[in-house]
Structure 1
Amino acid sequence: MTDSIRILMCPPHHYDVDYVINPWMEGNIHRSSRDRAETQWEGLYKILKDHATVDLVEPEKGWPDMVFTANAGLVLGNNVVLSRFYHSERQGEEPHFKRWFENNGFTVHELPKDLPFEGAGDALLDRQGRWLWAGYGFRSELDSHPYLAKWLDIEVLSLQLVDDRFYHLDTCFCPLTNGYLLYYPPAFDFYSNRLIEMRVPAEKRIAIEEPDAVNFACNAVNVDDVVVMNQASDNLKARLGDVGFRVIETPLNEFLKAGGAAKCLTLRTTEPIARDVRAVDSIVSKTITLQGHLLDAGIINRALDLVVEGGGSFQVRNFNLGEQRQSTSSAEVHVSAPSNAVMEEIVAQLIDLGAVSLPEDERDAQLEPVLQAGVAPDDFYVTTIYPTEIRINGQWVRVQKQRMDGAIAVRETENGLVAQCKILRDLEVGEKVVVNVTGIRTVRKPESREQRGSQEFSFMSAGVSSERRVELVVEQVAWELRRIRDRGGKVVVTAGPVVIHTGGAEHLSWLIREGYIQGLLGGNAIAVHDIEQSTLGTSLGVDMKRGVAVRGGHRHHLNVINTIRRHGSIANAVEQGMITNGVMYECVKHNVPFVLAGSIRDDGPLPDTEMDLIKAQAQYAHVIEGSDMILMLSTMLHSIGVGNMTPSGVKMVCVDINPAVVTKLSDRGSVESTGVVTDVGLFLSLLVKQLERLTSPLAVKG
């Protein structure tokens, strides 16, 4: 026995699964055996008494989880940070543990009542006393970590838990003697795994597989070269043996029903302290403001979810709810993150929601020069679709040519500083680029409740419409198309060859002919198959009237390509009478610009197809400029490209028979988009019928 090591335990006289506060408890209420639990606890107690001094705290009736003493608090030297339990079902344990610590000479530190922290279940000391690993995400809040660093005078390394089965750090993470670590990597987010890898050498990391993880192999008690646990695979025992550890298994399955095992049942009260260790608090915090219809538009929920999902923690400091229906609300949210890098990612996403820092924290945007053409400085801010402003010399400057997935380039002109969104390849030496997230805000115009609910044909908010709602969406799109045309606006279509295959060519042609379309974007295929249909009556060799493949039809599209190449261009073929109808015919006849972006799979290609991807992107962006609406018709890749180039304020309609495609396109970030899951040919047919009804004499009189 090692006399210098002391462990606190609590007999399971009142243990049971009385409620559900973790996934392990589900289905196990009152299904544990008190007798078996007593026997298993005694087995662990006897093993530990052979290797350490075991102290006992008296169990209290009504608090069945007191047996899990790891959650009593966190001890280092004579100091203990008392737990603040997340769930009310365990909060009654706090005064009993506090009394035991005080009676045994410890200095007790208590966190604010609304700041959860669950002791040594979520805080594990490196076995050499060099730092403290602290978990957060389910039971403990990140904002508790600075208190730990201060009160215990130690460096705290924050790890985010992401799998609710491993709701406490000690369920998936076990520091071992001599700097070894037993852990289950999938329980942590990317940044936490990187931090672990940076601090623990590869040869000392013992990563386990899921079968061992769900048997709580990491929920082990380590004393010198002994590791006591519920159960381990032969492979894991061999791996531990290879580096000098002896595994002692003792069954604790009755406690697994409540989500605990060996480590949960123990609290080590004598921890190693490295003499040269001092408090290091790496937690960074920032207070941001949110304004708008925070509740009914769901902005506050999205913001708080982004903070947590991004690896941070939050406290809502002030929330001012609008008093009238048309009033906006505001909130001040204190955001914490384990590092500057994580904070910047969180804030970047909050900026997309329209969040700004408080006035006292406002600083100018950080600018760094472009040193190599087409290459941005490290940590450059990645733009979104939303109108953006940056703070320069204390003034907010609007960013021009807004688009997503670009950088903000700032340059001096005769009229002063100009900020502009640029894709990376267009950055020039001499410009400066915004880096990090300081001094950046997006501009949102809150929409009133009345506006959202009163417009008879208000355009659909973001979402995916099911088949049964297609006619409703068609009515709204038709009404919007009519409005845009009548005021001289601009509608661009990006379309795939499926439009032709499903019989939609005649309807798209009608839209172009009647002035509803001012630009067409696509690939080589839509033009080839449109011309094939208009000249040969087939699409991909299938007779469009009878729906059957024709003999030799597989050569039709190549014959078309060859013929157009002979004429030199689609426009020449139209002017020379080779093409007399169809989508491309109407584009040429009505001076509607079109861009065909090539790909590696294109046959021919047509002479009009731009095979230089850089040039094609630039031509796409030029056609999109000034658009009021974009119809995305069954072409995922081209539509995503268009979406990346398009700022907010442009209405988008994504139509595809595949729900996954529609969802992907509708999730690109625009709040003014809708997805329609249907056959694109049917959609275009219904759209044309609705527009014909709207433009009929009866409709005009009405």
Structure 2
Amino acid sequence: MSSTIRFLMCPPDYYDVDYVINPWMEGNVHKSSRDRAVEQWHQLFHIIKEHAIVDLVKPQPGVPDMVFTANAGLVLGNNVVLSRFYHKERQGEEPFFKQWFEEQGYRVYELPKDLPFEGAGDALFDREGRWLWAGYGFRSELETHPMIARWLDIEVLSLRLMDERFYHLDTCFCPLSDGYLLYYPGAFDSYSNRLIELRVPNEKRIAIKEEDAVNFACNAVNIDHIIILNKASDELKQQLGAVGFQLIETPLTEFMKAGGAAKCLTLRVTEPIREEVHAGAAVESRVIRMEGHLLDAGLINQALDLIVEGGGSFQVLSFNLGEQRQSTSSAEVKVTAPSHDVMETLMSQLIDLGALPPPQEVCDINYEVVTQAGVAPDDFYVTTIYPTEVRVKCTWVRVQNQRMDAAIVVDEETMTAQCKLLRDLKPGDRVVVGVEGIRTIRKTESREQRNTQEFSFMGAGVSSERRVELVVEQIAWELRQIRDQRGKVVVTAGPVVIHTGGGEHLSKLIREGYVQALLGGNAIAVHDIEQALLGTSLGVDMKRGVSVRGGHRHHLKVINTIRRCGSIANAVEQGVLTSGIFYECVRHRVPFALAGSIRDDGPLPDTQMDLIKAQEEYARLIQGADLILMLSSMLHSIGVGNMTPAGVKMVCVDINPAVVTKLSDRGSIESVGVVTDVGLFLSLLVQQLNKLTSPYQIAQPV
């Protein structure tokens, strides 16, 4: 064996599950077999020794988890960042690891004692030496990342862990040779998954399933093209084999009882170093100040929860508690975020809670000049209903015409600021961007009475539904027959289609030639495009079904993006919009008409705000229709019903029986009413269509 790769391991002389500090230890205290653990450790030791050099650190009584040497520290070249353990049960390991590193001649960097960081368990080098992946969320603090970047002179990419089973980064993430990555996406938040996708090409990402994740397939030792792990499914073996990796399985079940496997039991001390790579960390910190009845109104808890749930971390710098009931409290909190974008989002939400910058920290807001009528600059601040002040020439200026979902335009000459809707913006307007120098002003009583729920448009779940398979079967048969005969189906759809998860199904109907025209309002298009671009609908994460912090601003951002492009079709042609209902309409030349209303934000450039013209467009597209499918849009459905001649079949789907009844009461004997959740209906409809066969050939998109 001529390899120069070295690992540090610790014999399991004192290993046992003595306490519970992670979910894997639950129910396993003193249930690990010492003999079997020794046997499994030696098997791993000899396998690694065949391919690399192994150094040993002497085990010590009283610290049973010292066997997991991945947590000793983080080594690059002759430098090591010593671990600061989160749990007191493991803190006793620190001096023994420090002694070993010093005896080997390493330069040891030590973090403050109150700033946890658990070494190579939470920090993994790209196997090409390009950057360091660093985890946070359970055992390591985000604030350590800039220090590590500076000490080791390497770029640090921060990843937030979300699943307590995968409490260390190395339990769910394994960089491999040649730029490949083995990881479990479910362990990370959406921001981290996007970061991973940006840095690692799709063909290099090997995303594993939960069955492999819980067998610690990612907690593997990679030596060149050899991967040593506890266990892998046949599917994963095939995936890795197909790209040139050789897998060696070695049982490590006794160590899994403590929450570790192959990688946890080793520390690689020879990491690749690239001379052209230098320090860098996107981590950003800011200080906020909060005043009011912080405890009894729950404001401080809301703020701290918001920071953590939004992907950041915090440090309370000071807290002055009011001495009497009527007294107010104040606090200064240091907020840390993994990137500027995340920080801006957090600060927007904290401003909504009344957070203020420290006195005199910000003298002026940031603004950009409007260059295109009706289009705000990127990152423009979206207003709320609360009275707002902005910092202009070191003076707080009250924003006039306060309203929700607008931009703030400032005039430094007159020292004024006002809310303006997107459509009212003119070239030359100075629009506030970012969150610096902005504060909301609310009375103390307002804060106390503030609902503890986060501000959002949607908070309730979808109503229950009944079985509709039989009527769906008939509708599917009619749709297939109309399509095969080159007939015409018109769909009228409301935004509930998106909210209930029906967007992907309606997209498929359009893509496969079942829809020849689409009618709706501004909302269906905005929410469809919001889902396509941001994964949310009215700020609700469409995969997890929960409100996203600050998500109520998403629809304004989407409207602004499409307005910049000039139209939905332009957004498709420019590659901005690449999926969704309206993407499919453009790609497959399915005409659509969007009728505006008084409540529409923006609106989108395609939305016809002249009601008479919108009605004419609706009537034109309805001509020659064989069937109209009305999906949860009461006003548009009734309007379409009123302008549709007899003889046209109509299917009205709505969770509200009154909507279906109103349509039927208009005397349309060809109408079918389906009282159910529209998302369920579309899902069942697509399933039923898939069962049918037809010689129809779908036209290729243009």
Report the TM range for the smaller structure's normalisation.
0.5 to 0.7
The equivalent of 2:436 in structure 1 is: 438
Report the secondary structure of 2:51's partner residue: coil
What is the correspondence of 1:559-570 to structure 2 with a 5 Å cutoff? none
The equivalent of 2:308 in structure 1 is: 308
Report the secondary structure of 1:315's partner residue: strand
> Cα offset for 1:98?
0.8
What is the correspondence of 1:290-689 to structure 2 with a 5 Å cutoff? 290-411=290-411, 416-447=414-445, 462=451, 613-615=596-598
Report the secondary structure of 2:140's partner residue: coil
> Cα offset for 1:348?
0.7
Structure 1, unaligned runs of 5 or more: 453-459, 465-610, 619-635, 639-657, 659-702
Report the secondary structure of 1:306's partner residue: helix
What is the correspondence of 1:258-277 to structure 2 with a 5 Å cutoff? 258-277=258-277
Alpha-carbon separation, structure 1, partners of 2:381 and 2:177: 43
Amino acid of the structure 1 residue aligned with 2:343: M
> Cα offset for 1:411?
5.0
Report the secondary structure of 2:332's partner residue: strand
Alpha-carbon separation, structure 2, partners of 1:402 and 1:259: 53
Report the secondary structure of 2:319's partner residue: strand
Amino acid of the structure 2 residue aligned with 1:141: E
> Cα offset for 1:431?
2.3
> Cα offset for 1:314?
1.4
Alpha-carbon separation, structure 2, partners of 1:617 and 1:125: 49
Gap change, CA 1:53 and 1:143, over 3 Å in 2: same
The equivalent of 2:120 in structure 1 is: 120
Gap change, CA 1:159 and 1:616, over 3 Å in 2: closer
The equivalent of 2:456 in structure 1 is: none
1:493-549 per-residue CA deviation (whole Å, 9 max, x = no partner) reads xxxxxxxxxxxxxxxxxxxxxxxxxxxxxxxxxxxxxxxxxxxxxxxxxxxxxxxxx
Gap change, CA 1:432 and 1:112, over 3 Å in 2: same
Report the secondary structure of 1:142's partner residue: coil
Report the secondary structure of 1:357's partner residue: coil
> Cα offset for 1:108?
1.0
What is the correspondence of 1:126-141 to structure 2 with a 5 Å cutoff? 126-141=126-141
> Cα offset for 1:370?
2.3
> Cα offset for 1:270?
1.2
Amino acid of the structure 2 residue aligned with 1:421: C
The equivalent of 1:580 in structure 2 is: none
Gap change, CA 1:2 and 1:99, over 3 Å in 2: same
The equivalent of 1:55 in structure 2 is: 55
Instruction: Answer yes or no: is the 8 Å Cα contact 1:326–1:448 preserved in 2.
Output: no
Instruction: Answer yes or no: is the 8 Å Cα contact 2:302–2:452 preserved in 1.
Output: no
TM-score by length of 2: 0.64
1:590-625 per-residue CA deviation (whole Å, 9 max, x = no partner) reads xxxxxxxxxxxxxxxxxxxxx96433569xxxxxxx
Report the secondary structure of 1:178's partner residue: helix
1:187-207 per-residue CA deviation (whole Å, 9 max, x = no partner) reads 112222222122212211111
Alpha-carbon separation, structure 2, partners of 1:271 and 1:177: 12
> Cα offset for 1:235?
1.1
Instruction: Answer yes or no: is the 8 Å Cα contact 1:289–1:331 preserved in 2.
Output: yes
Amino acid of the structure 1 residue aligned with 2:221: V
> Cα offset for 1:56?
1.2
> Cα offset for 1:210?
1.2
1:131-177 per-residue CA deviation (whole Å, 9 max, x = no partner) reads 11111111101110111111111111111111111111111111111
> Cα offset for 1:448?
10
The equivalent of 2:578 in structure 1 is: none
Alpha-carbon separation, structure 1, partners of 2:446 and 2:126: 54
Gap change, CA 1:399 and 1:614, over 3 Å in 2: farther
> Cα offset for 1:221?
0.2
1:73-95 per-residue CA deviation (whole Å, 9 max, x = no partner) reads 00111111100001111111111
Identity %: 70
Amino acid of the structure 2 residue aligned with 1:6: R
Instruction: Answer yes or no: is the 8 Å Cα contact 1:363–1:438 preserved in 2.
Output: no
Instruction: Answer yes or no: is the 8 Å Cα contact 1:128–1:177 preserved in 2.
Output: yes
Amino acid of the structure 1 residue aligned with 2:597: I
Gap change, CA 1:386 and 1:336, over 3 Å in 2: same
Computed over aligned residues only, the root mean square deviation of the Cα atoms, in angstroms, reads: 2.4
Instruction: Answer yes or no: is the 8 Å Cα contact 1:83–1:116 preserved in 2.
Output: yes
Alpha-carbon separation, structure 2, partners of 1:95 and 1:423: 61
Report the secondary structure of 1:341's partner residue: helix
Amino acid of the structure 2 residue aligned with 1:144: T
The equivalent of 2:33 in structure 1 is: 33
Report the secondary structure of 1:615's partner residue: coil
The equivalent of 2:683 in structure 1 is: none
Alpha-carbon separation, structure 1, partners of 2:244 and 2:236: 13
Alpha-carbon separation, structure 1, partners of 2:405 and 2:253: 51
What is the correspondence of 1:75-114 to structure 2 with a 5 Å cutoff? 75-114=75-114
Alpha-carbon separation, structure 1, partners of 2:14 and 2:23: 21
Report the secondary structure of 2:389's partner residue: strand
Amino acid of the structure 1 residue aligned with 2:13: H
Alpha-carbon separation, structure 2, partners of 1:350 and 1:463: 14
1:530-580 per-residue CA deviation (whole Å, 9 max, x = no partner) reads xxxxxxxxxxxxxxxxxxxxxxxxxxxxxxxxxxxxxxxxxxxxxxxxxxx
Point out the structure with max Rg over C-alpha: 1
> Cα offset for 1:101?
1.0
> Cα offset for 1:417?
4.3
TM-score by length of 1: 0.64
In the alignment, does 2:128 pair up with 1:154?
no
> Cα offset for 1:372?
2.4
Alpha-carbon separation, structure 1, partners of 2:156 and 2:188: 17
Amino acid of the structure 1 residue aligned with 2:124: L
1:622-642 per-residue CA deviation (whole Å, 9 max, x = no partner) reads xxxxxxxxxxxxxx999xxxx
> Cα offset for 1:462?
3.0
Instruction: Answer yes or no: is the 8 Å Cα contact 2:363–2:393 preserved in 1.
Output: no
Amino acid of the structure 1 residue aligned with 2:258: A
Alpha-carbon separation, structure 1, partners of 2:374 and 2:597: 13
Alpha-carbon separation, structure 2, partners of 1:32 and 1:159: 32
Amino acid of the structure 2 residue aligned with 1:615: I
Instruction: Answer yes or no: is the 8 Å Cα contact 2:283–2:338 preserved in 1.
Output: yes
Instruction: Answer yes or no: is the 8 Å Cα contact 2:360–2:394 preserved in 1.
Output: no
Alpha-carbon separation, structure 1, partners of 2:164 and 2:405: 33
The equivalent of 1:645 in structure 2 is: none
Alpha-carbon separation, structure 2, partners of 1:237 and 1:117: 32
The equivalent of 2:225 in structure 1 is: 225
In the alignment, does 2:32 pair up with 1:43?
no
Report the secondary structure of 1:355's partner residue: coil
Alpha-carbon separation, structure 2, partners of 1:102 and 1:134: 24
Report the secondary structure of 2:86's partner residue: coil
> Cα offset for 1:27?
2.0
The equivalent of 1:694 in structure 2 is: none
The equivalent of 2:175 in structure 1 is: 175
Instruction: Answer yes or no: is the 8 Å Cα contact 1:174–1:182 preserved in 2.
Output: yes
Amino acid of the structure 2 residue aligned with 1:462: N
- Count of residue pairs brought into register by the alignment: 466
Amino acid of the structure 2 residue aligned with 1:219: N
Alpha-carbon separation, structure 2, partners of 1:412 and 1:148: 42
What is the correspondence of 1:15-26 to structure 2 with a 5 Å cutoff? 15-26=15-26
Alpha-carbon separation, structure 2, partners of 1:284 and 1:403: 30
Alpha-carbon separation, structure 2, partners of 1:225 and 1:333: 46
Alpha-carbon separation, structure 1, partners of 2:256 and 2:237: 20
Instruction: Answer yes or no: is the 8 Å Cα contact 1:411–1:430 preserved in 2.
Output: no
Report the secondary structure of 1:80's partner residue: strand
Amino acid of the structure 1 residue aligned with 2:404: M
Amino acid of the structure 2 residue aligned with 1:20: V
